Structure 1
Amino acid sequence: MRRKWNTIVIRKIPAWYVLFSAAFCLFVAMLSGNLQPWYTNNFLHTGLQPISQGNTAEPKVALACNVFWGEEFLPQMLDTLAQQDAKITFFIGGSWAKKYPEMVKTIADGGHELGNHTYSHPHPNNLSKEKNQEQIIKTEELVHSITGIKTNLYAPPYGEYNNTVLMAAHELDYRTIMWSIDTIDWKRPPAQVIKNRVISKLHNGAIILMHPTAPTAEALPELLREIKNKGYTVVKVSDILQ
């Protein structure tokens, strides 16, 4: 009779109660510090952390421009950057670089930083670690053959990442870069919308994501002036991480 009573009690324990109890125990372990060595070794020490902003101690912001389609708006953007003496970071897609090697050289010759934006713009979360690394390495080798520059910053397409993606980049000595301000310029909003979207969210260490689109090229001159008027300096992504 006692064995039958025990069985009935076990069956009556709700699933949510079991999950809640497990979560509570995990929370207590975190507070007690028992999980700190595991957390530190597996995340902080391995670099499995994407970077979405830089040093917040100084009024600096970085522009991160992901390049994968066309080149028609880049000359205008590069002219604007040169006129305002601003150096930024361009994350280069490998297949795009193969199609437009002279533009890649022009960007590099302008003193801008080159980052890695994969070769074929896949969804990184759908790939194995090895396939992610193939995407990075193929682009790295191509960019190096064109410019002599070795990339070491990685911007995953679609802003996708998981532990596999982060580890793939980390093992190749890359830092995975995200953003803290998104222009959402790929939707082709009016230039004024792009400018206001950025200016309203400016903060120390901001990484501002953009693409070479028509409204971005149009917004860039006034955007750079407004950023400077607000007391910020525009720098490359690697500079803001120091």
Structure 2
Amino acid sequence: MSVAKKVTSIVAMAMITFTMINYTSINTYINRLKYDTITVQKPAQSLEDQVKDEAKKRRKDPRDAVIDRVWKKTPGYNGVEVDIEKSLKNMKKDGMFVEKHLIYRQIPPKIHLKDLPPAPIYRGHPDKQMVSFAINVAWGEEYLPEMLSILKKHHVHATFFFEGRWVKKHPDLAKMISKAGHEAGNHSYSHPNMAILSTSKTNEEIVKTNEVIEAVVGHTPKLFAPPSGSFNEHTVQEAHKLGMLTTLWTVDTVDWKKPMPGELIDRVMNKIHPGAIILMHPTQSSAASLDTLVKEIEARKFKIGTVSNLLSETRVLSSDTK
């Protein structure tokens, strides 16, 4: 073989080798692009974007007041949302997102109790983690000091529905109850069966009691609790005309039957629910049960407040915003 042919052969072999090496390298690179995961670092999220994201997650829409098929008038319940502007201002001093520094604001519903036609009311909103003691007072004044002492110890306020005659006989007790921060409600004047009264007599029973209570405690009740839960359409209409709600209950202690404390407590705790109105009277059974009852209700994470507070649209925020 001549020298020229040898040189040509060597050059050809070199070019083939170079091409194969180059092809392999390109092929390997392409395969790596296909199958390798390329990590792209996301830019750090701004504090404002973090707060806005949390605001979307935490918003809860308000609920309108309605006439329920079973429970009749049901109050509305405020929604809740993060106040982005105030939350950002609260966090800027730290320069970072801090959950506990979120600021919330409540969103009122569009339809309120006052917008609904006359109807009785049995409970607060079923999403509201609160209950109320509705204590009807027409007798049993000897048990009131003990009950008031227990409520004071636990910083709990109740609604006392006063019979008008009782307030006239015991004005000092009525004043003491009101000064302790409890709510005064109307329980008729003479404890009649409201279901059989005429419209004029119904009006008289409610108005006369309002006048007595206003004269003694200084304000006019906004809630009317018919004796024994007995009422008719006239009752509800007359109360409504006077700017009052006809209120009943969903949990009955049946304390007038003199149950043992354990029985009364079990009866209540087996039926307790968000928005419950718990009917009581000043009796030995209720006085003996009240301390434990308050502890057990609060252990279930319920707040205890007046009936008016229960029926308000104000949201209980302690657990709702977590």
Give the TM-score normalised by the residue count of structure 2.
Answer: 0.61
Q: Is the 2:140–2:281 Cα contact (8 Å) retained in structure 1? A: no
Partner of 1:126: 196
Determine which of 145, 162, 166 is the counterpart of 1:75.
145
Distance 2:201 2:220 in 1: 20
Please state how far the C-alpha of 1:165 moved relative to its aligned partner.
1.1
Establish whether residue 223 from structure 1 lines up as the match of residue 293 from structure 2: yes
- Please report how far the alpha carbon of residue 173 of structure 1 lies from its aligned counterpart in structure 2 after TM superposition: 0.9
Aligned with 2:297: secondary structure? helix
Q: Does 1:108 align with 2:175?
A: no
Q: Which runs of 5+ in 1 are unaligned?
A: 1-43
Shift of 1:47: 3.1
SS at match of 2:127: coil
Matched, 1:173 2:243: yes
**1:227 to partner: Cα distance:** 0.1
Q: Pick from 297, 303, 316 the counterpart of residue 233 of structure 1.
A: 303
Q: Which one has a bigger Cα radius of gyration?
A: 2
Distance in 2 (CA, whole Å) between partners of 1:215 and 1:160 is 24
1:16-61: CA deviations, max 9, x gaps? xxxxxxxxxxxxxxxxxxxxxxxxxxxx966331110002222100
Within a 5 Å distance, the mapping from 1:1-242 to structure 2 comes to 47-242=117-312
Q: Which has the higher contact order (CA 8 A, sep 6+)?
A: 1
Which amino acid in the other structure matches residue 178 of structure 1? L
Instruction: Note closer, same or farther for the CA distance 1:47–1:161 as it changes in structure 2 (3 Å cut).
Output: farther
What SS does the aligned partner of 1:125 have? Answer: helix
Distance 1:162 1:145 in 2: 28
Give the AA of the match of 2:225: A
Q: Which whole-Å CA distance do the structure 1 matches of 2:140 and 2:300 have between them? A: 32
What residue is the counterpart of 2:70 in the other structure? Answer: none
Q: Is the 8 A contact 1:46 1:170 kept in 2?
A: no
* Range 216-225 or range 156-165, more displaced: 156-165
Q: Measure the CA separation in 1 of the matches of 2:239 and 2:267.
A: 30
The 8 Å contact of residues 65 and 89 in structure 1, kept in 2 or not, is answered as yes
Task: Give 3-state SS (helix, strand or coil) of 1:178's partner.
Answer: coil
**Does the CA-based 8 Å contact 1:191-1:215 persist in structure 2?**
yes
Q: CA deviation at 1:162?
A: 1.3
Amino acid at match of 1:49: A
Aligned length: 199
Instruction: State the distance in 2 between where 1:119 and 1:70 align.
Output: 16
Correspondence for 2:10 = none
SS of structure 2 residue aligned to 1:72: helix
TM-score when scaled to structure 1?
Answer: 0.80
Q: Is the 8 A contact 1:67 1:90 kept in 2?
A: yes
Q: Is the 8 A contact 1:169 1:176 kept in 2?
A: yes
